Amino acid sequence: MPDQASPLNVETLYCDHHSWLLGWLRHRLGNPFDAADLAHDTFARILAGRRVEDIKEPRAYLTTVARGILINWYERKALERAYLEALALLPEPEAPSPEHRQMVLETLHQIDAMLDTLPARVRRAFLMSQIEGLRYEDIAARLGCSLISVKRYMKQAFLQCLALLD
């Protein structure tokens, strides 16, 4: 007989709510395989996190954690989709080899994560400089701002990358 007073632990959290969470994720993703992965990630994050016994509303808590994981997942997918689209448009001789493709994608994920919290304008300026190779003067003209601003954006972006690079 279940003891109502016993504190929640990860095992009971898992047993009682895993299939419910799976359904919640499947409803959003429309695909049981990704849902299973993300449900796993959700519990992994909770395990790595903190005192499960303090959780008062397990399902609200689970969806809060799962939602964060879901957003990250969508953004990763969006990056991969944009990358694959760009790859498809590239003429054959310019396309990187399959192994190189995977490396590029991994680096893209890293850079993407580092630039993520930056304001759109700062990120745009940084990408124009570091990916497109534009001069600061040209970036200022394109963004309609001063050279000083471009340098400030660049510093903000570089600092952020340096702080997050591991």
Partner 1 sequence: MPGAAGLITVMHANPPLSPDVLEQAAEWLVLLNASTVSDEDRQACERWRGEHPDHALAWARAQRLMGKLESLPPRLAMPALNRPRSTGRRSATMKLTGVLALLPASWLGWRLADNKGWMADHHTGTGEQSSLQLADGSIIKLNTATSIDLRFDAVQRTVVLRHGEILIQTAKDTASARRPFVVRTNEGLVEALGTRFSVRQREGQTDVAVYEHAVRVEPRRAPISAYLMLESGQSASFTARRAGTAANVAAGSDSWTHGMLMADRMRLSDFTSEIQRYRGGLVRCDPAVADVRISGTFPLRDTDLALNMLANTYPIAVRKRLSGYWVTLEPS
Interface positions with partner 1 (CB under 8 A): 49-50, 54-57, 60-61, 64-65, 67-68, 71-72, 75, 78-79, 82-83, 85-87, 90, 94, 96, 103-104, 107-108, 110-113, 115-120, 123-124, 127, 129-133, 135-137, 142, 151, 154-155, 158-159, 161-163, 165-166
**Cβ at position 1, least distance to partner 1 in Å:** 27
What residues contact 30, with CB distance under 8 A and at least 6 apart? none
* Closer residue to partner 1 (CB): 18 or 109: 109
What residues contact 166, with CB distance under 8 A and at least 6 apart? none
* Closer residue to partner 1 (CB): 31 or 64: 64
C-alpha span between 34 and 49 (Å, rounded)? 22
* Closer residue to partner 1 (CB): 1 or 48: 48
C-alpha span between 136 and 118 (Å, rounded)? 18
**Cβ at position 69, least distance to partner 1 in Å:** 9
* Closer residue to partner 1 (CB): 11 or 27: 27
**Cβ at position 108, least distance to partner 1 in Å:** 5
**Cβ at position 33, least distance to partner 1 in Å:** 21
**Cβ at position 77, least distance to partner 1 in Å:** 11
Determine the length of the chain: 166
* Closer residue to partner 1 (CB): 2 or 49: 49
C-alpha span between 136 and 142 (Å, rounded)? 10
Give CB contacts under 8 A, 24+ apart, made by 66-72: 66/21, 66/24, 66/25, 66/38, 66/39, 66/42, 69/38, 69/41, 69/42, 69/45, 70/25, 70/28, 70/29, 70/38
